[in-house]
Amino acid sequence: MLCISVSFIILAAVFVDRGEPEDNSIVGIAYEIKETQNGFTFFLEDSRGGKMKCFSRTEPTEYFVYSIKGTASDDGSIFFVNSMRIVSE
């Protein structure tokens, strides 16, 4: 049931947000946020069920939908967030 709710929130946020399209941005729900010495790690799940580990100096809010931009590590194990904006709460 939680997966269905999360999927609906992501889809609704993508279709409701009519702002300027952001090139190369990734939209998803932030979860499992952990504070580190240099910032925050968290997972971002997109509308297709893809999950990626992210690092940001700014703390995201658990279960909010974000549009993020950044770069992946050389081995692809973590995504370094350069900018992050809330799409939906």
Q: Average pLDDT of 60-65?
A: 96
Q: Domains in the chain and their CATH numbers?
A: 2-88 (2.40.50.140)
| Phi/psi-derived region of residue 49, left when phi > 0, alpha when psi is between -120 and 50, beta in every other case | left
> Is-contact 26 85, C-beta < 8 A?
no
Compute how many other C-beta atoms are within 10 angstroms of the C-beta atom of residue 27.
Answer: 19
Q: How far apart are the first and last CA of the chain?
A: 19
- The pLDDT assigned to 22 comes to 46
- The pTM for the full model equals 0.73
Banded model confidence at residue 9, pLDDT cuts 50, 70, 90 = low
